[in-house]
Structure 1
Amino acid sequence: MAERKPINAQNYHRLVVKVGSAVLSGAKGRQQQLEIAAQIAALRAEGREVVLVSSGAVATGLSKLGFKERPKTMPGKQALAAVGQPTLMYLWEQAFSWYDLKVAQVLLTAEDLGHRQRYLNARQTLETLLEWGIVPIINENDTVMVEEIKFGDNDQLSALIASLVGADLLILLSDIEALFEADPRTHPEARPIPFVERVDAAVLRMAGDSPGRVGTGGMKSKLLAAEKAQAAGIPTLLLPGHRPQSISQALRGEPVGTLFAGGSRRYSGRKLWLYQLPKPQGEVVVDAGAAQALRQGGASLLPAGILEVRGQFGVGEAVRCLDTEGSLIGIGLVNYSASELSRIKGRKTREIEALLGYKNTDEAIHRDYFALASELE
């Protein structure tokens, strides 16, 4: 079992705090919401900036309407989110008003962060809110989300937000005390793990696939979020959301929850954004020569190396690059649309203008806009 490294709380100026549905639901949910607001207010009083990612719209709608269980259809879940989101924000606004803190609602979809300009717009908005001393409260826009534009859950969203705002620390408040050697619900003898140097396959095996009893995530989802944060060099604290002082205790170095090391930043800027994209818009299959050049030579992808184009995407959108065995090489931004690449695939760069009537660039994907998957394993 890894020994917990000391925490230097002075390094953590900007924090992203994610609260799960299971923490905010049930008989004690409102009290826990008030206590979390108190903890965030204490962080603000210490001069820290905080972005809150809050689940709970669907669960709040469920409670408000008196339903016994969630609808199984997507429109039903979306309708519940529409009912619950205003109440959820009202409750947060009330909780923070005790500390003279103002809040702002920010609803996002994976499509928003998958588009580079909208990603930058979201970052600018959040930066402005923080500059104004406002607590941004972010949730996935469940009312309009469909499977193709869904983050997966708010654990994943919180990791993306941490990268988006350049956070120093990601905090996941859960209904579970910490990461355990095995699922404590089925293995009561399992011991908590205080520190994780790196989220790898062995660590992922410690988590079951079962989601929480109220939310859509589970321990595996939280580990994947910590893995995303590590790629950006951001440490993650997994803490018990029902404990009133868990954040301050952890920042004082007390043995609460699990700390995931941030490590060295592997990517930044556009390449970090590419790596963390929730849903690339399509795929291109490349030949063996192009695959080798991308993996080993740091080269750009030329149309001549493309064998197949899959899906519909426009110029500047993200696509997955696959080899002929179907293995992921990396993710990049294309300089041509799917229809254009279909016309110029396998052809020399000197033929592009004759085939299309124009030429944007020689490269289908420039190396500066390509994130190699193997470097992130």
Structure 2
Amino acid sequence: MAALTEARRVVIKIGSALLVDRDTGDLRRSWLDAIAEDIAALKARDADVVLVSSGSIALGRGILQLPPTVLPLEQSQAAAAVGQIHLARAWQEALAPHGLTTAQVLVTLEDSADRRRYLNSRATLETLLGFGAVPIVNENDTVATDEIRYGDNDRLAAQVAVTVGADLLVLLSDVDGLYTGNPNSDPDAQRLETVSEITPEIEAMAGDAGSGLSKGGMKTKVMAAKTATASGCAMIIMHGAELHPLQRLIDGAPSTLFTPHLDPHAARKRWIAAMKPQGTLRVDEGAAQALASGKSLLPAGLRAVEGDFGRGEPVTIRTLNGLTLGQGLTRYTASEARAIAGHHSRDIEGILGYPGRAVLIHRDDMAV
């Protein structure tokens, strides 16, 4: 599967039913060790890997000996609290023998809905990937309620793929792709190899039912594909229960590939450029030349700030004589930007009284 072997940044979603034995409530250790080998192989090809891993509630349920029924909110949150630490440790133990560092990242819907928190999450994930770590992302089920939760990890995985600018999202599931009908009841149902456009007809093929320990069905996977492909990220659905699912995918295991129309970098730039600016940053000639060569905007090159904006909001970047250079998402408020204008990044903490980001607008958050 060229989509996987050629991808430079991959998000892999792993459902509870793959990680946790539904009868015993225990981790499927042999499966976990096998996919750890697959992940190590991807990393050896210089690909960044982010895991979106379910399993905390399923694990905690077994440890706390809770019944296999729908749990009240407080019991579900308690199970998540117990299970999450076991899940993180399991991933650490599986990946450490391959020399891979793991990091736990717990999020809620607000972390992507609020632009400031979204940028903070993105910066953290980018930094972890820069260090070569494998972030293990999960919804913070310990504190999340229905009002602030994603609801299923298919949706979460798509949002994570958009956040980190992945070029491929792989949903490891208990089905091997999208079918024209329900293959369990329709003998004529055919699996689609490739979906180049998610039409109403494609959406109609998706059912609502989840299975076993998982919350999502095919409908949530198609919704995830809409989010991912609109941002330039391809998505694959495949059956993941057998050992070494990623290697099996490379070897040609059945799957459905949803293709994007843009690369993720171009899609993000288009999204930023379409925002309504909340202010203007005037920069000197040195900063203008740095931006033209693909670098980030540093406080040292800032000469004037116009407007009143918050962190994470879009601003126009102009030269002192009024030439528009582009637009970006600022990592500082208007008042903070005025205070640090013209200063070196090392001076930010002394000026503001607290540590700040080294850059004013990162190149990945900028459309020049």
TM-score, normalising length: structure 2? 0.69
Cα distance between partner residues in 1 of 2:28 and 2:92: 15
Cα contact 2:35–2:246 (8 A) shared by 1: no
Cα distance between partner residues in 1 of 2:78 and 2:187: 38
Cα contact 2:116–2:311 (8 A) shared by 1: no
The one-letter amino acid of 1:261's match is T
What is the aligned partner in structure 1 of residue 213 from structure 2? 214
Cα RMSD after superposing both structures: 2.7
Kindly indicate whether residue 182 of structure 2 is the aligned counterpart of residue 187 of structure 1.
no
Kindly indicate whether residue 262 of structure 2 is the aligned counterpart of residue 264 of structure 1.
yes
C-alpha displacement at 1:213, in angstroms? Answer: 1.4
Alignment of 1:155-304 (within 5 A): 155-187=154-186, 189-251=188-250, 254-264=252-262, 267-269=267-269, 271=271
Cα contact 1:179–1:238 (8 A) shared by 2: yes
Further displaced range: 169-178 or 71-80: 71-80
What is the aligned partner in structure 1 of residue 343 from structure 2? none
The one-letter amino acid of 1:268's match is R
C-alpha displacement at 1:190, in angstroms? Answer: 2.4
Cα contact 1:195–1:258 (8 A) shared by 2: yes
Q: Structure 1 residues 93 and 317, CA, compared in 2 at 3 Å: closer, same or farther?
A: closer
What is the aligned partner in structure 1 of residue 345 from structure 2? none
Cα distance between partner residues in 2 of 1:14 and 1:317: 24
Cα distance between partner residues in 2 of 1:184 and 1:196: 18
C-alpha displacement at 1:111, in angstroms? Answer: 0.7
Kindly indicate whether residue 19 of structure 2 is the aligned counterpart of residue 13 of structure 1.
no
Cα distance between partner residues in 2 of 1:274 and 1:36: 40
Paired residues in the alignment total 275
Further displaced range: 210-219 or 259-268: 259-268
TM-score, normalising length: structure 1? 0.67
For structure 1, list consecutive stretches of 5 or more residues without a partner in the other structure: 1-5, 276-314, 319-377
Q: Deviations over 1:106-145 (max 9, x none)?
A: 0000011111111111111111111111110000000111
Q: Structure 1 residues 145 and 188, CA, compared in 2 at 3 Å: closer, same or farther?
A: farther
Cα distance between partner residues in 2 of 1:8 and 1:112: 29
SS of match in other structure, 2:91: helix
Cα distance between partner residues in 1 of 2:274 and 2:14: 26
What is the aligned partner in structure 1 of residue 112 from structure 2? 113
Cα contact 1:11–1:168 (8 A) shared by 2: no
Kindly indicate whether residue 104 of structure 2 is the aligned counterpart of residue 79 of structure 1.
no
Cα contact 1:62–1:70 (8 A) shared by 2: no
C-alpha displacement at 1:237, in angstroms? Answer: 1.0
The one-letter amino acid of 2:212's match is R
Kindly indicate whether residue 63 of structure 2 is the aligned counterpart of residue 68 of structure 1.
no
Cα contact 1:18–1:173 (8 A) shared by 2: yes
C-alpha displacement at 1:31, in angstroms? Answer: 2.1
SS of match in other structure, 1:76: helix
SS of match in other structure, 1:228: helix
Q: Structure 1 residues 8 and 162, CA, compared in 2 at 3 Å: closer, same or farther?
A: closer
Cα contact 2:4–2:168 (8 A) shared by 1: no
Cα contact 1:194–1:255 (8 A) shared by 2: no
Cα distance between partner residues in 1 of 2:181 and 2:20: 25
Cα distance between partner residues in 2 of 1:274 and 1:152: 29
What is the aligned partner in structure 1 of residue 35 from structure 2? 36
SS of match in other structure, 2:205: coil
Cα distance between partner residues in 2 of 1:35 and 1:316: 42
SS of match in other structure, 1:78: helix
What is the aligned partner in structure 2 of residue 295 from structure 1? none
C-alpha displacement at 1:62, in angstroms? Answer: 1.3
What is the aligned partner in structure 2 of residue 130 from structure 1? 129
Q: Deviations over 1:290-315 (max 9, x none)?
A: xxxxxxxxxxxxxxxxxxxxxxxxx9
For structure 2, list consecutive stretches of 5 or more residues without a partner in the other structure: 276-309, 314-368
Cα distance between partner residues in 2 of 1:232 and 1:45: 26
What is the aligned partner in structure 1 of residue 18 from structure 2? 23
Cα distance between partner residues in 1 of 2:272 and 2:224: 14
Q: Structure 1 residues 251 and 77, CA, compared in 2 at 3 Å: closer, same or farther?
A: same
% identical aligned pairs: 40
Q: Structure 1 residues 21 and 188, CA, compared in 2 at 3 Å: closer, same or farther?
A: farther
